[in-house]
């Protein structure tokens, strides 16, 4: 009998235990199963020209209201100042220079181990929709989206299925100022727009700035409609809303350039009460945390409870996998359409450091698409007419090797502090950080794109540059010395030209090109490089020799490069020919015409060829 009583007591205790446990189990399951919906609103080509960011000229009631309902990020950055490389960063959580996807619309294969972040969301049960721009600068793998089209919408998901939805708005895109609206139709007053100190006060400049503010107002209206639709659908209480611009823009010296005007973007996150525990702060607050696009993919995974893959280079700034506050963000510029350039930048809370690896090229290289804006042409005309002051003239002149700006007192970045002794320690710190980052990611931008494109087409780029076959430290050292524009380094530069590594030889030739006539004692070394196995080395050496008065032996090398099968080699040659101009450019016109006649589409070599013919035929 005693034994039976003990058994009944044990059974009762177990029953009570399960009665106590069940509510916690149900609650735990509820928290696990019910995941937040996430709505991303992305606008194209716009800096933080909103009232909530302190812009009194802007008309942005929707964004201003959204800022009172959410958390505004003061220091959000696109890692690249142009769409395709920026979106490559977002979709992978990787720095494009580590993958070879930093140059505009290169569309190389995606390394096999990398998944686009919506694929992880789909595996976790999310319905993923993208309406509708992709532009990932790399070949998209299968199964990224449930739907990616102009009709993609979260309403198309299964009943009860959580969603991740993107709506991309193009009303503020650069193309919105290509065709001028009549002055009488503008809603903002051209006489009241405040021009940056680097822009001349031309009628076209005032008009384009004003028209752009009208487009920002139109963007505000479109965002209001999306938010209202979310409210009407009944999902607002279950949906985290994030808004950001895909990079800065759009007037010349913003989009495509690694300044505040090209990389700093508006970003606002709104969390419903249900998910307020995930928010970085209370509604109507701001954060000065540094965030950049490489952090977006891991942040989304962190918010929904998906383990962040170890290969992702970004760091989550929200959710249970949130990383420590970073000290720096890293920024980059590669080839922009038909113009080759290489720039790296580092931004902390106060300073922006810029390293120009092609200082022999002017900032304002002609890009056909950029020149469609009346303001850009008017700026160039004003410069050529001698009507620009010093700050306005810089854009049309060769770049310094390094730049440093205190953005807290110089937000338009016109006062370069790189050579100011008072900022020596800041320069050393920022320069060191840039080097550390480039070495860490094995920066592929150090390779000329002719070679990079060949390796990417063979799907070998990532494995190659992350192996001992790519001596990145040696190459970066050569690139750093060669781009200092210091003739005292010429002996070292000549050593680089004799190196067994083609990329090191390329930087040695580039160093001579940068030095111009100060590289005279390297003439024989440059002549030897005219027969180099690497076409980018040959082209660079030929351009350097033309500057040294040796165009008779160098010009045939440049013209021969226009026959190369590799498109990016031809683009390189056209860049050199246009820069040299004169007789050298005129001799290349027959071959340029053949390039135009023999190819179809809008390849960048065709654009460069057309420009050369336009200027010198």
Count CB-CB contacts under 10 A for residue 329.
Answer: 24
Helix (H) or strand (E) holding 141: none
Helix (H) or strand (E) holding 519: none
Helix (H) or strand (E) holding 258: none
Report the interhelical angle of 567-580 vs 604-616 (nearest 10°).
20
Show the CA angle centred on residue 133, arms to residues 254 and 228, nearest 5°: 95
E strands within 98-169? 127-131, 147-148, 163-169
Report the interhelical angle of 449-457 vs 567-580 (nearest 10°).
170
* DSSP track, 170-237: -TTSGGGGTSPPPGGG-SS-TTTPPPPTTS---HHHHHHHHHHHHHHHHHHHHHHHHHHHHHHHT-GG
Q: For residues 383 and 252, give the distance between their C-alpha atoms in angstroms, rounded to a whole number.
A: 14
Report the interhelical angle of 502-515 vs 535-547 (nearest 10°).
20
Q: How far is CA 414 from the centre of its chain?
A: 21
> In the annotation, is 83 catalytic?
yes
Closest C-alpha to 144, from 120, 173, 169, 179: 120
> How would you write 41-93 as a 3-class SS string?
EEECCCCCCCHHHCCCCCCCHHHHHHHHHCEEEEEEECCCCCHHHHHHHHHHC
Kind of pairing between the strands at 285-292 and 71-77 = parallel
Catalytic residue from among 83, 388, 512, 546: 83
What letter does residue 155 receive in the DSSP assignment? G
| Dihedral angle, C-alpha 308, 314, 317, 318, nearest 10 ° | -30
Residues known to be catalytic: 83
């Amino acid at each position: 009998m005693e034994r039976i009583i003990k058994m009944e007591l044990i059974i009762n205790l177990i029953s009570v235990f399960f009665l106590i446990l069940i509510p916690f189990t149900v609650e735990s399951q509820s928290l696990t199963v019910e995941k937040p919906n996430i709505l991303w609103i992305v606008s194209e080509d716009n800096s933080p020209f909103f009232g909530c960011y302190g812009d009194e000229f802007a008309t942005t009631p929707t964004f201003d209201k959204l800022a009172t309902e959410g958390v505004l990020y003061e220091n959000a950055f696109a890692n690249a100042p142009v769409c395709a490389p920026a979106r490559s960063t977002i979709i992978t959580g990787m720095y494009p220079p580590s993958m070879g996807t930093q140059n505009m619309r290169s569309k190389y294969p995606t390394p096999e181990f990398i998944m686009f972040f919506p694929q992880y969301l789909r595996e976790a049960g999310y319905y993923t929709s993208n309406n509708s721009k992709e532009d990932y600068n790399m070949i998209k793998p299968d199964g990224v989206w449930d739907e990616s089209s102009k009709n993609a919408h979260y309403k198309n998901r299964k009943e009860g299925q959580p969603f991740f939805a993107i709506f991309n708005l193009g009303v503020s895109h650069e193309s919105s100022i290509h065709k001028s609206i009549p002055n009488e139709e503008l809603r903002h007053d051209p006489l009241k727009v405040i021009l940056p100190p680097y822009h001349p006060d031309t009628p076209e400049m005032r008009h384009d700035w004003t028209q752009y503010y009208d487009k920002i107002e139109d963007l505000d209206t479109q965002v209001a409609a999306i938010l209202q639709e979310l409210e009407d659908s009944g999902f607002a209480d279950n949906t985290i809303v994030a808004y950001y611009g895909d990079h800065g823009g759009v007037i010349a010296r913003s989009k495509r350039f690694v300044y505040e005007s090209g990389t700093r973007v508006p970003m606002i996150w709104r969390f419903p009460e249900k998910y307020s525990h995930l928010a970085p702060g209370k509604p109507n607050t701001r954060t000065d945390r540094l965030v950049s696009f490489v952090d977006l993919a891991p942040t989304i995974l962190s918010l929904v409870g998906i383990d962040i893959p170890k290969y992702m280079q970004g760091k989550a700034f929200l959710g249970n996998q949130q990383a420590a506050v970073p000290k720096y963000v890293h920024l980059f510029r590669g080839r922009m359409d038909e113009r080759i350039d290489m720039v790296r930048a580092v931004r902390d809370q106060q300073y922006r450091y810029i390293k120009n690896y092609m200082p022999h090229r002017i900032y304002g290289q002609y890009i056909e698409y950029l020149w469609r804006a009346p303001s850009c042409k008017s700026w160039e005309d004003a410069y050529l007419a001698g009507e620009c002051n010093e700050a306005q003239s810089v854009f049309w002149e060769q770049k310094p090797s390094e730049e440093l700006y205190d953005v807290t007192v110089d937000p338009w970045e016109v006062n370069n502090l790189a050579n100011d002794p008072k900022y020596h320690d800041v320069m050393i710190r920022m320069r060191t950080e840039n080097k550390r980052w480039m070495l860490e990611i094995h920066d592929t931008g150090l390779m000329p794109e002719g070679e990079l494109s060949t390796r990417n087409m063979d799907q070998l780029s990532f494995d190659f540059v992350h192996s001992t076959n790519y001596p990145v430290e040696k190459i970066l050292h050569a690139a750093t010395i060669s781009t200092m524009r210091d003739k005292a380094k010429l002996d070292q530069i000549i050593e680089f030209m004799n190196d067994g590594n083609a990329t090191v030889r390329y930087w040695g030739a580039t160093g001579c090109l940068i030095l111009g006539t100060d590289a005279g004692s390297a003439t024989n070394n440059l002549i030897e490089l005219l027969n180099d196995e690497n076409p980018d080395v040959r082209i660079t050496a030929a351009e350097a020799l033309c500057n040294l008065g040796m165009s008779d032996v160098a010009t045939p090398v440049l013209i021969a490069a226009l026959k190369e099968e590799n498109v990016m080699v031809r683009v390189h040659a056209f860049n050199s020919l246009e820069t040299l101009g004169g007789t050298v450019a005129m001799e290349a016109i027959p071959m340029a015409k053949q390039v135009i006649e023999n190819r179809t589409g809008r390849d960048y070599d065709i654009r460069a060829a057309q420009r050369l013919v336009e200027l010198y035929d």
